[in-house]
Amino acid sequence: MTLFFSKAIVYSWFLWFVQCQNVNGIRQYHLSEISYTPQSRTIRGEQVPLEFYEAIERSDKKKNELQHRLHHFLENLQKNLTTSTVFRDFKPTASSSENYATKMSELSTFFHDASFAAGLFAHENERFYDVIKNSSYALLLKLRQVPAAQPTQVKTVLTNYFSEMEFFHIMFSEIVDEALEYTVGTLRAVQRIFLQFADVQSGILQDWKLKLDFECCKMYMDFLQYHSAQVFKCAAGRELNVAYDVYAMTKINAKYIMRQLEFRIQRLFNCFIFKKYEIRCQFLQNAERDFESLFNKLEELEMYLDIKTKQGRASDLRFHRQSYIQHDDVTTKSTEPLSDCLPPNFPFSQIKSELRSCFYLFGGK
Ligand SMILES: *[C@@H]1O[C@H](CO)[C@@H](O)[C@H](O)[C@H]1NC(C)=O
Ligand SMILES: *[C@@H]1O[C@H](CO)[C@@H](O)[C@H](O)[C@H]1NC(C)=O
């Protein structure tokens, strides 16, 4: 956290140099973008880019699709690959071996589709995190639309306020990046593992030429069922659930933060429309205090990420790792998410000689 906060001071001071917009332009802006309800003077939230909400929707949709696809897999696996479903009146006839092949390719297709669904969610998730950062930046840019021609005193407090918001934007973006690294990293790993596993299966079916007698088919089915369950439990287990949680938490906080930023910008605009600085612009006097609750929110989110994704490892490990351990192959490998879900040298090391001899590829009996 300390390192995190110390990064920011560098960025400031640019806002006033950029442009002096004329007051008329600003008035038009207000009239077109801010609307009041007569009684309460509350303002409709129109500052957050529409894209932000669209990105949430798309990302949620892909998350639900993935969850739906993975739902009940273990039960279905159990149901689909049993002797009674696959081998009901199993005789070496064309139709029964066709049934066997269908069941086997359904399993491979499942992993293939699940991989695809994980990839889609990863993509939309990454996009959403990008849009969060962009939207936060877009809100920051709106501050530039406050007319620059202000009394010096006001200008000074405004400048402070801008730097505070910019500082916040930078911190916020960094935390979003942390969330991104975890969720997208995990989802990409799931995608890769499922695809690899599906490919291995279809490769075996196509090229290894299983002997189609009951013993061999049963043995291979048991083998596949066991490893499918293992791979699935590993890849779609704890880390994927943490990724869902991190995604949900980031989303909730991003929504909250966007609304809060929006509120601050609208309040600022109002305060300059009416030009009663002393009364309406009190918050400008102490920018730090005005942003305090938002920084607290960020800190909570960062703590949540720390606890969830690092499992009690010291949080400076991440910085340590990024700066020093890049070249250390062993460490880098072991930190790759889910790297051991597919057993090494699968399936060659796992297939016992009895099953191996069921394949013509290995000169089966
Ligand atoms: C189980 O069988 C159903 C019906 O044939 C199929 O749609 C589904 O993909 C199968 N699931 C697995 C995990 O093989
Ligand atoms: C976010 O902004 C960057 C830089 O302006 C841009 O390249 C990127 O396409 C934007 N991303 C999205 C999802 O809009």
Report CA(138)–ligand 1 centroid distance (Å). 46
Distance of alpha carbon 84 from alpha carbon 347, whole angstroms: 26
How many C-beta atoms lie closer than 10 Å to residue 17's C-beta? 8
Decide if 144 contacts 92 (C-beta within 8 A).
no
How many C-beta atoms lie closer than 10 Å to residue 151's C-beta? 8
The count of C-alpha atoms lying within 13 angstroms of the C-alpha of 14, restricted to the half-sphere facing its C-beta, is: 9
Position in ligand 2 atom list of the atom nearest CA 51 = 14
Q: Can you give the pLDDT at residue 184?
A: 96
Q: Can you give the pLDDT at residue 331?
A: 40
Residue 210 pairs in a beta bridge with 359
Question: For atom 1 of ligand 2, which residue has the closest CA?
Answer: 134
Of the listed ligands, the closest to the CA of 130 is: 2
Q: What is the pLDDT of residues 65-81, one digit of tens each?
A: 999 999 999 999 998 88
Q: Can you give the pLDDT at residue 35?
A: 38
The DSSP annotation for 277-327 comes to HHHHTHHHHTHHHHHHHHHHHHHHHHHHHHHHHHTTS-THHHHHHHHHGGG
Q: Report which residue type is found at 227.
A: H
Q: Is 58 left (phi over 0), alpha (psi -120 to 50) or beta?
A: alpha
pTM for the full predicted model: 0.79
Does the beta carbon of 173 sit less than 6 angstroms from any atom of ligand 2? no
Decide if 147 contacts 23 (C-beta within 8 A).
yes
Does the beta carbon of 127 sit less than 6 angstroms from any atom of ligand 2? yes
Place of tokens 């806002």: 15
Q: Report which residue type is found at 288.
A: E
φ, ψ of residue 36 to 5 degrees: the values are -110, 145
Report CA(265)–ligand 2 centroid distance (Å). 22
Report CA(130)–ligand 2 centroid distance (Å). 7
Position in ligand 2 atom list of the atom nearest CA 134 = 1
Q: Can you give the pLDDT at residue 362?
A: 75
Does the beta carbon of 123 sit less than 6 angstroms from any atom of ligand 2? no
pLDDT averaged over 10-residue windows placed end to end, the chain, 365 residues: 37 29 32 36 66 96 97 92 72 72 91 97 97 94 78 84 93 95 95 95 88 86 93 94 96 95 88 73 86 93 91 46 39 63 86 86 65
Distance of alpha carbon 50 from alpha carbon 56, whole angstroms: 10
Report CA(339)–ligand 1 centroid distance (Å). 27
List pocket residues of ligand 1, CB cut-off 6 Å: 73, 76-77, 80, 106-107, 110
Report CA(95)–ligand 1 centroid distance (Å). 18
For residue 43, give Cα distances in angstroms to 34, 40, 49, 141.
6, 9, 16, 19
Q: Can you give the pLDDT at residue 271?
A: 81
Q: Which two tokens stand for residue 77?
A: 């696996």
The DSSP annotation for 96-144 comes to HHHHHHHHHHHHHHHHHHHHHHHHHHHHHHHHHHHHHHHHHHHHHHHGG
Q: Can you give the pLDDT at residue 94?
A: 63
Does the beta carbon of 134 sit less than 6 angstroms from any atom of ligand 2? yes
Decide if 298 contacts 172 (C-beta within 8 A).
yes
Q: Report which residue type is found at 275.
A: K
Q: Which two tokens stand for residue 253?
A: 């906080």
Q: Can you give the pLDDT at residue 9?
A: 32
Question: For atom 11 of ligand 1, which residue has the closest CA?
Answer: 76
Report CA(107)–ligand 1 centroid distance (Å). 7
Q: Can you give the pLDDT at residue 318?
A: 39
Query: In this structure, what is the dihedral angle of CA atoms 167, 173, 177, 180, given to the nearest 10 degrees?
Result: 150
Decide if 183 contacts 247 (C-beta within 8 A).
yes
Report CA(71)–ligand 1 centroid distance (Å). 12
Q: Can you give the pLDDT at residue 99?
A: 82
Q: Can you give the pLDDT at residue 7?
A: 36
Length of the chain: 365
Q: Can you give the pLDDT at residue 328?
A: 41
**Long-range contacts: 150-156, Cβ < 8 Å, 24+?**
150/272, 154/277, 154/281, 154/284, 155/16
Tell me the chain's radius of gyration from C-alpha atoms: 29
Does the beta carbon of 131 sit less than 6 angstroms from any atom of ligand 2? yes
